[in-house]
Structures are given as C-alpha cells and as structure tokens.
C-alpha cells in the first residue's frame, strides 16, 4: 500500500511539473512578436517577458495567443488617459499604448491593427493610412478598423 501511495504522489508531481504556465507557454511567441516590433520600430527596450517600452512612453504588450493562456489572462484594456491600437477586434490581443498627443504615432510594431481605443476623457483619435483618415474614435470609445492603417493621431 505504501508503494502505491508513493507512486501516485510521484506521478502527480511529475505531471504537474510538465504543465506550462501561461507566461512560459507563450514566451517563444512573445519573443517573436517583440523581435518583430523592435525591427519595425527600433529604439524600444524589452521591459518584461511580454513588453517593450519606447523613450516616448509608447508601450507594446504582447498578449498570450494559446487558448489556455488567453483564458488565464485578464482582458486587454487601454489604460485611462491613453489611446491604444490592438491586434484583435473589440480591443483585444496585443496592444500599443500611446500617451504622446497631439502627434502621429506609428503602429508598425504590430503586424496588423484591428481596433483602436481612446481612453482619454476628451478629444478624438484617428487611425490613418498616410494622411487619409480611416477611422475616428471619440473619447471613452473603441472602434474596429476595417482597412489597413499605419498610424494613430490624437487631437486634444
């Protein structure tokens, strides 16, 4: 009986060690996205396993891509007072958080942008392709992007 109890304990401990945590499960994917971001938008510094920060205050956060990791992660949100570009619709996925306003902010660090949030208390944010406005987002709102954009611009 003692041997059976020991065997069950050993198997339980071994199987628990083999289950990856959300951060480790997506570490290689985060590294690939961060490498892409630093190549497309040089000058940033990796500040966490899933984050890059640029001198102007722009922050890229790479969100988990596997289903178990996504389920364990909190929903993506745009921090109050900032405006954000997201890799998924409805403010989901990896995101760039911007503070510099009024200025033009490149979204090159993300392979694609599918939504923009304006978490400021006033003003608008536009998603643009060159000088063409693709989408306008009022304060406190999020909109999905249906065409390719290359920057977000805020107005006070």
For 17-66, write each residue's pLDDT tens digit: 333 334 444 567 888 889 999 999 999 999 998 999 999 999 999 987 65
Look at residue 118 and tell me whether its pLDDT is greater than 50.
Answer: yes
Which pairs from 76-82 meet CB under 8 Å and 24+ separation? 77/117, 77/119, 78/117, 78/118, 78/119, 78/142, 79/119, 80/119, 81/119, 81/120, 81/121, 82/119, 82/120
Position 6 scores a pLDDT of 37
Least confident of 4-13, 65-74, 127-136: 4-13
Closest CA to 84 of 54, 135, 37, 118: 118
**Statement: residue 94 has pLDDT above 70:** yes
| Tally of domains in the chain | 1
> What integer pLDDT is reported at residue 71 of this predicted model?
40
For residue 101, CA distances in Å to 43, 72, 124, 154, 156 come to 19, 33, 10, 6, 7
What residues have CB less than 8 Å from 105, skipping those under 6 apart? Answer: 58, 96, 98, 151, 152, 153, 154
Answer whether 116's CB lies under 8 Å from 126's CB: no
Supply the range of the domain harboring residue 39.
Answer: 2-155
Q: Which two tokens stand for residue 148?
A: 């390719």
* Residue 65 pLDDT: 66
What confidence score (pLDDT) does residue 26 get? 56
Q: Which of 4-13, 62-71, 137-146 has the highest mean pLDDT?
A: 137-146
Greater confidence (64 vs 98) lies with: 98
pTM of the model: 0.73
**104: confidence class by pLDDT, cuts 50, 70, 90:** confident
Residue 28's pLDDT is: 73
**3-state class (DSSP) for residue 131:** coil
Q: What pLDDT was estimated at residue 76?
A: 60
In angstroms, the CA 20 to CA 47 distance is 22
């Amino acid at each position: 009986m003692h041997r059976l109890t020991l065997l069950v304990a050993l198997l339980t401990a071994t199987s628990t060690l083999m289950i990856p945590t959300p951060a480790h499960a997506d570490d290689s994917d985060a590294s690939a996205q961060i490498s892409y971001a630093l190549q497309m938008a040089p000058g940033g510094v990796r500040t966490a396993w899933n984050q890059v920060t640029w001198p102007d205050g722009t922050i890229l956060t790479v969100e988990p891509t596997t289903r178990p990791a996504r389920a364990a992660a909190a929903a993506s949100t745009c921090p109050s007072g900032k405006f954000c570009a997201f890799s998924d619709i409805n403010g989901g996925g990896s995101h760039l958080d911007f503070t510099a306003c009024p200025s033009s902010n490149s979204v090159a660090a993300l392979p694609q942008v599918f939504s923009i949030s304006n978490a400021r208390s006033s003003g608008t944010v536009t998603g643009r392709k060159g000088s063409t406005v693709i989408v306008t987002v009022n304060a406190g709102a999020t909109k999905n992007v249906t065409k390719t954009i290359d920057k977000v611009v805020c107005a006070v």
